[in-house]
Structure 1
Amino acid sequence: MLETDFKYIIDTFFTLFSITLIIFMVPGFAMLEAGLVRTKNVSAVLTINIMIYAVASLAFLLIGYKIAFGSLDSTTSSMWAVIMFQMAFVGKSINIVSGGVSERVRIIPLSIFTVIMGALIYPSVVNVSWGADMLRDTFLDIKMYDLAGSSVIHSTGGWALLAALLIVGSRRGRYQERGVKVIPASNIPLVVLGAFLLWIGWFGFNGGSVGSISSVESADLVAKTIINTNTAGLCGAIIAGVIMYIRYKLFDITMILNGALGGLVAVTAAANLYDMYTPILVGFIGGGLVVFAVPLFDKLKLDDPVGALSVHLVNGIWGTLAAGIFIPSISLMAQLKGIVLIGVFTFSVSYIVLFIINKFFKFRADDEAQLMGMDINECGVEAYPEFKRAI
């Protein structure tokens, strides 16, 4: 067997293995969101997650990939594996949106937005960062460094969620004259399971983005990328727990897990370039940002049941900036330009699309439907039919 053939096979297998880990993030998002919402909305949340994976993937396969990357060619590994790897990414940005509008969003309008996001909005962001050269050498050629999508995926999803929250509004009774109504998570074990599935999936997300493992150098780089990814997650969890205990003398497991996810989002931009100590700082700051951002968004009456804005938007921005701050070869101005362009484009286009869809298919369920639960109104199947519904 020729050495080039052997490397082709190994890199193809590596890509397929990474895809498998990334797909674990589908049940990861589903379990995390199902655990954080009330029991009367769990079936709807799970249905939305499955529909996002199916609809977004197909939209990207049929339309979005060509917009994002142009050519389907690959000489270092199977092009089918490369296409599938990129297709595995697309749903993640939309999962961020679905989690943040949980418990009051209807499935049909969200599915329509998913098609547009997967076919046009997300691929356009990819085009000016990772993808095809049709916009190179223009102002839109952002030249931002983003290994696996702190901005391209996480901030993109966060900006789209921000637009969606302005269209959809808050859950029934969430913001009252006497303050914010606390709506506790319904199933903490599911939250933990979902968070750790996401954590495991991140090893394929970031490690697979290195692109090759068929040489000693690339194998070392993949391993370093994965350990740096894990380190940032560890530190995000630790600092979130410490801050919560200092402030409230309690350990909030949901905040600790979101702190971990915040660290993972933050390190995603340059996990392959950091030494083994910098992700400690990146993760600590990322986890801390989550703890302070969650109440800030509540003060702004942006009702986000899963903390997606705090985890993905805030830390997508921080992670992209961190790459420019800590890596001498990366231009901080290029990182800032990328953040601004992606933010302006994604938020404005998403808001326009969401506004138009909302004119024909209302995103927000009415108060009666929210009171009864989205499971009954949207799915006809309750996740926990023997439980008394929480209002």
Structure 2
Amino acid sequence: MEENIFHLQYAIDTFYFLVCGALVMWMAAGFSMLEAGLVRAKNTTEILTKNVSLFAISCIMYLVCGYAIMYDGGIFLSGIQNVDVASTLGEFSERGDFTGGSIYSGASDFFFQVVFVATAMSIVSGAVAERMKLWAFLAFAVVMTGFIYPMEGSWTWNGADVFGMYNLGDLGFSDFAGSGIVHMAGAAAALAGVLLLGARKGKYGPNGEVRAIPGANLPLATLGMFILWMGWFGFNGGSVLKLGDIANANSVAMVFLNTNAAAAAGLVAALILGRILFGKADLTMALNGALAGLVAITAEPSTPSALGASIIGAIGGIIVVFSIVGLDKLKIDDPVGAISVHGVVGLWGLLAVPFTNSDVSFLGQIIGALTIFVWVFVTSLIVWGVLKAVIGLRVSEDEEYEGVDLSECGMEAYPEFVSNK
């Protein structure tokens, strides 16, 4: 009887992990559609090429070395071990039910982890859009997904000491599903690239005025946002790591509820603030407001009440509007608002955790956020700098004017309808 219970829980937890991982993988489509909608038509093919390529690179690099760095495993999954059936079954014999720790296939754990890596890298692509060389971006993706992200992941989700100096877990740091570990890390890498890359031509006037550069396809961007919203249920829900008992099933349901509430509140808050500041309902701010709410709740979606999650999400939606406007004033050109959505709001998500989880300290969250940001930003700045010196980061002015679809990919996304001149 106990063996049958063991097999059932193993199957349930493994299946849940795989389904949630598939939902997170679908977020790659969301990033692709969102970014394709927010760039100009002449840059659509290139941004789509970036997104499909970075996903494949992320999967390969995490398979080759990323997982080994992050979780002390072996190359090509040789270090991934499934559950020791004999020892775990002994525990089940004493307990005889689904309570206790989660148990699942090691391969399902890898799959769930690798789609998170791809999410972090997807954040970078939108921020550097419309003026970066495709192959420079892909070269950076190799280092980001194979080394930079796994290192900070080992300090946070694997509990390793930060270069032997301190342990974030001992300091009270917690990041349930990755507001800092995934989202702020991706934004830090993006910021380093944007600072070396510079703004798009024509984005800022000679007197510092900000010139709007509208995206080509807002229906596509809206579809992308909804795909991301849906995928986030796997992102946060899967991070519970278990489904096979009443307590964890209730936790999963609450995570889903809070994730949805935060997104809705973030969208409404950003929409209202946009109306106050700009006099109009700004769709792009509303889209980013929903994503900001999702990023904000990701650090801790299990402990807030539904009202608390809504407040956290709404504050995220307000923060992202001011951040996008503020970065423009600093002439930091981010075509899709990725640095604001994932970086600035990712920090807010980390700082919001102690309000609903008394086991987490503000000091631990601050040190953890600084550790992630400094590591990712500095190492990314070095890698971007080397790439700039060796192959260059930016396309020529003529290529930027014509559109990187032609210079980098040799084809247009909308050849029948679009003139690039």
Q: TM-score, normalised by structure 1?
A: 0.97
Q: Which moved more, 1:140-149 or 1:127-136?
A: 127-136
- Partner in structure 1 of residue 20 of structure 2: 18
- Judge conservation of contact 1:241–1:252 (CA < 8 Å) in 2: yes
Could you tell me which of 11, 31, 34 is aligned with 1:29? 31
Which residues of 2 match residues 19-168 of structure 1 at below 5 A? 19-71=21-73, 72-75=80-83, 76-131=103-158, 133=160, 138-141=165-168, 143-168=172-197
How far apart are residue 308 of structure 1 and its match?
0.5
- Partner in structure 2 of residue 235 of structure 1: 265
- Judge conservation of contact 2:62–2:145 (CA < 8 Å) in 1: yes
Q: One-letter code of the match for 1:188? A: L
Matches of 2:392 and 2:58 in 1, distance apart? 20
Identity over aligned pairs, percent: 39
Which residues of 2 match residues 193-204 of structure 1 at below 5 A? 193-204=223-234
How far apart are residue 149 of structure 1 and its match?
0.4
How far apart are residue 144 of structure 1 and its match?
1.5
Matches of 1:253 and 1:208 in 2, distance apart? 30
- Partner in structure 1 of residue 241 of structure 2: 211
Q: One-letter code of the match for 1:218? A: N
- Judge conservation of contact 1:206–1:268 (CA < 8 Å) in 2: yes
> Is the counterpart of residue 281 in structure 1 residue 311 in structure 2?
yes
Q: Secondary structure at the match of 1:176?
A: coil
Matches of 1:319 and 1:382 in 2, distance apart? 39
Q: Which moved more, 1:330-339 or 1:132-141?
A: 132-141
How far apart are residue 158 of structure 1 and its match?
0.8
- Partner in structure 2 of residue 295 of structure 1: 325
How far apart are residue 314 of structure 1 and its match?
0.5
| Runs of at least 5 residues in structure 2 that lack an aligned partner in the other structure | 74-79, 84-102
Q: TM-score, normalised by structure 2?
A: 0.90
Q: One-letter code of the match for 1:376? A: L
How far apart are residue 167 of structure 1 and its match?
1.1
Superposed CA deviations along residues 63-111 of structure 1, whole A, max 9, x for unmatched, are: 0001001142343111111101001110111111110010001111111
- Partner in structure 2 of residue 173 of structure 1: 202
Q: Secondary structure at the match of 1:246?
A: helix
> Is the counterpart of residue 185 in structure 1 residue 201 in structure 2?
no
Matches of 2:276 and 2:260 in 1, distance apart? 25
- Judge conservation of contact 2:259–2:298 (CA < 8 Å) in 1: yes
> Is the counterpart of residue 247 in structure 1 residue 277 in structure 2?
yes
Matches of 1:176 and 1:24 in 2, distance apart? 38
How far apart are residue 185 of structure 1 and its match?
1.4
**Cα RMSD (Å) of the superposition?**
1.4
| Runs of at least 5 residues in structure 1 that lack an aligned partner in the other structure | none
- Partner in structure 1 of residue 89 of structure 2: none
- Partner in structure 1 of residue 297 of structure 2: 267
Matches of 1:307 and 1:82 in 2, distance apart? 31
Q: One-letter code of the match for 1:95? A: S
Superposed CA deviations along residues 168-225 of structure 1, whole A, max 9, x for unmatched, are: 1111121111512211111011001000000000000000010000111111101101
Matches of 2:417 and 2:196 in 1, distance apart? 32
> Is the counterpart of residue 359 in structure 1 residue 361 in structure 2?
no
Corresponding pairs, count: 391
> Is the counterpart of residue 223 in structure 1 residue 253 in structure 2?
yes
Q: Secondary structure at the match of 1:282?
A: helix
Q: One-letter code of the match for 2:193? A: A
Q: Which moved more, 1:36-45 or 1:91-100?
A: 91-100
Matches of 2:322 and 2:132 in 1, distance apart? 26
- Partner in structure 1 of residue 373 of structure 2: 343
Q: Using a 3 Å threshold, how does the CA distance of structure 1 residues 344 and 135 change in structure 2: closer, same or farther?
A: closer
- Judge conservation of contact 1:325–1:332 (CA < 8 Å) in 2: no
Q: One-letter code of the match for 2:44? A: V
- Judge conservation of contact 1:74–1:82 (CA < 8 Å) in 2: no
How far apart are residue 113 of structure 1 and its match?
0.5
Structure with higher Rg: it is 2
Q: Secondary structure at the match of 2:156?
A: coil
